[in-house]
Structure 1
Amino acid sequence: MSGAQPSVPPPGDTPLTSLAHQLIEALGRGTWGPDALEVLVGAAVAQLPGCTDASLTSVAPGSTPATVASTSERAVRADTWQYELAQGPCLDAAAGSPLVRASLVDGETPWPEWAPRVVAEAGYAGVLSVRLGSQAHPLGSLNVYGTDAAALAALPAEDAESFAALTSVVLASARRAGHLEEAVERRTVIGQAQGILMERYKMTAADAFALLRGLSQQSNTKLFDLAQELAETGQLPRDASGRPAAGGLPLS
């Protein structure tokens, strides 16, 4: 993931037009591809009421579903549990109803194994998934996770559907250009970097991801580039004075 931060929408912008502006900016910076997918999920968190985290699931015939962009490590875990358990809103949205929304804390979801685990281990209280692509040719889903079930329940469906419509175009373009494989590879490298931090400093996956994201913002370095350096060298970067740039954590 790139660690790019969504810009503040101009006054009067709708979520859809603001997102379009951000994607145009990404094109202008030459960051089309996996970085554009990161713009999409970051914009969802910034602009969709009740959205704590967002992710994109890609589905393709003969392939296992995969998360190609997300705003947090726990969103990736929530997605991954769906793939492993073969149940959950992103799978339902991709294969059935175009929009799936549920409170995860009322005990009435159709996902008896997935929902309790997401509440207990990820802290989410509500979820909304919107199909990307068409029923005949599904591309995946836009997944919106919230820690406030009521706030997410109040999110207008048309806002989520507008995001999904533009996201479908970007995801389809990324797939044609072969960028989805790159996006999955990025997720793998970031996971490797998290694993190094977890083992070395005895921290959780969430804390390791938060450390990487913080360093990315602090050093103005893309999250993937930072993770790749750590995965390849076993070292976190140092600041201009040569001291560890990791909040005092030792580097060896």
Structure 2
Amino acid sequence: MQCGIWAMEIRMTCTIHYLPDRVLPETGVRERSPVFDPYQIDTLAPEEPLYVIGDVHGCLDLLERVLERVWKLRERSGGRIILVGDYVDRGPASAGVLSLLADLAAGNAPPTCLKGNHEIMMMEFLREPTRAIDWLMHGGRATLRSYGLDPLHPFYATKADLDRLAEKLADAIPPRVHSFLRDLKLSTRSGNIFVSHAGADPMVPLHRQSPDTLTWGHRSRATPRPDGSWVIQGHLAGRRPALSARHLIVDTGASDTGCLTTAVLQPGKIEFVSVRA
């Protein structure tokens, strides 16, 4: 199937919207009445342009195409590329995604790659396969297929089967990819923007967030933080990016919807660039 490019660019350069002019009766002077902006986009203050790419989930073709577009934007405006994690599982090419990202991580101006819960499940399976068997039920079998391995069915696999499968997977993953997975960050910051895979607990200082919260999420994730910081995350798939007050979810469900989205963040402005299969 020939893949076309679908792009959604939502420009929010003005965060104060105005009602039609009204005339002040005392002076006859015209005045524009501002309307409250619920997103508070004018508070966005990254130190440089940020290009935050949502969950990839084994969709190598979409990742290659979105990176091509983002690199062109970065050549024009500078800035930093951030990937929010969940590179593996569900989609057909997890091995290719990890190989590409490992190569980029070792190159010049590498992207910032964050750790998602699916990378955690995969690495736990490599260490203790019988305790991490749930990974096979949450997309891990697609990752195994991408490495040319028979994924088995967890309901019928013995401990010996799982141990052998974990050993085969460890042998199939190149050393540079093992290093890439070990070096994944839990979060990153730029100005008043905080990025992690699954958001942050709004009632806990950002420097004290637990690894579980950053990779698996928190029930109050969309509550605006009292410190004024923005939180950008993936983890929760939707057909469109989800924007609320100082909070953005950029996961558009690549493996299910065929759409991978990048949020382009600059002071007081958000744009979305998406590619579709």
Under a length normalisation based on structure 2, what TM-score does the superposition of the two structures give? 0.28
Q: Which has the higher strand share?
A: 2
Under a length normalisation based on structure 1, what TM-score does the superposition of the two structures give? 0.30
**Quick one: higher RCO (CA 8 Å, sep 6+), 1 or 2?**
2
